[in-house]
Amino acid sequence: MDVQLFIPCYIDQFYPQTGFNTIKILEKAGCTVHYNSKQTCCGQPAFNSGYWKETAQLAEKFLTDFQPDMPIISPSGSCSGFVIHHYQKVLSERPDLLERHTLIKNKIYELSDFLVNVLKVEKLGAKFPHTVTFHDSCSALREYGIKDEPRQLLTQVEGLELIEMPESETCCGFGGTFAVKNKAISTAMAEKKAFNALTTNAEFIVSTEASCLMNINGYCTKNKLPIKGIHLADILANF
């Protein structure tokens, strides 16, 4: 199957290996991956900060960079969910783009959703001999709508033990510019998330969202905690 790869800003700028691992996984699952190097931000940070005019410009570019004739796969439920559910708000005066959005939004998939529900692939032959716990990103869980899919994939990884943490669905405190504008609250939320994870004695906190992991890892590294965040794709690519 031919697919297009959509790489969010945080992965492009801070975790490029996660992007390469996403390609590795999709190819292992039998896909031919197409990557448009002209792609940029989907517009979510600008939208959440109230810059809807600028978001509309990025939305138009996104809808130009990607084609509606093949699936668009991303290692992020947050960015995927944003494109699917919010573009119509900033493009309300552009019926031509709304029509194209209608075609494209039904082709956008977060990685674990695509693997489990479209390709019907759960076992990739990955090995990861570690104990992990899972953090449900707010946007991935409540906006995009994934919960079981990442866990189904993790349980098929050889040597991996998944232990659920208390309040796995509670926000980690990132929230885009929230972490910058409300540093004290964000730090307290990251602290709670980290210590909930530590109660499981896991070595890693897994998530589908690089932005959440950046926030969690920042807290864990600064406080020298014996646990760190890792993207789902970086585990599944260990084959």
Distance of alpha carbon 20 from alpha carbon 24, whole angstroms: 6
Mean pLDDT for the stretch of residues 206-230: 95
Provide the domain limits for residue 151. 131-236
H or E segment and range at residue 33: strand 32-34
From residue 144, alpha-carbon distances to 81, 103, 157 in Å are 5, 17, 24
Same domain, 144 and 194: yes
Neighbours of 98 (CB within 10 A): 14
CB 139 within 8 A of CB 169: no
Residues 205 and 169 in one domain: yes
Statement: residue 203 has pLDDT above 90: yes
Lowest mean pLDDT among 168-177, 183-192, 214-223: 168-177
pLDDT at 176 over 90: no
The dihedrals phi and psi of 217, each to the nearest 5 degrees, come to -65, -35
Both structure tokens of 42: 């989907």
Which of 58, 92, 118 is the last residue in one of the domains? 118
Residue 84 falls within a domain, yes or no?
Answer: yes
- If asked whether residues 152 and 70 sit together in one domain, one would say no
Quick one: pLDDT band at residue 183, thresholds 50, 70, 90?
A: confident
Helix ranges, the chain (H): 9-14, 16-28, 44-48, 52-65, 77-90, 95-105, 111-113, 138-139, 148-154, 178-181, 183-198, 210-222, 232-236
130's CB contacts (< 8 A; 6+ apart) are 159, 160, 161, 202, 203, 204
Query: Is pLDDT above 90 for 179?
Result: no
223 in the same domain as 169 = yes
Domain count, the chain: 2
Note whether 179 and 87 are same-domain residues.
no
Model confidence at 173: pLDDT above 90: no
Mean pLDDT value of segment 73-88:
96
**Residue 175: pLDDT above 90?**
no
Beta-bridge partners for 4: 34, 72
- pLDDT category at 95 given cuts 50, 70, 90 is very high
One domain, residues 144 and 213: yes
Burial of residue 130, with CB atoms counted within 10 A of its CB: 0-12 exposed, 13-18 middle, 19 or more buried: middle
Same domain, residue pair 52 and 157: no
Does any domain span residue 124? no
Residue 123: pLDDT above 90?
yes
At 181, the pLDDT band (50, 70, 90 cuts) reads: confident
Tell me 59's DSSP state: H
Residue 125 within a domain: no
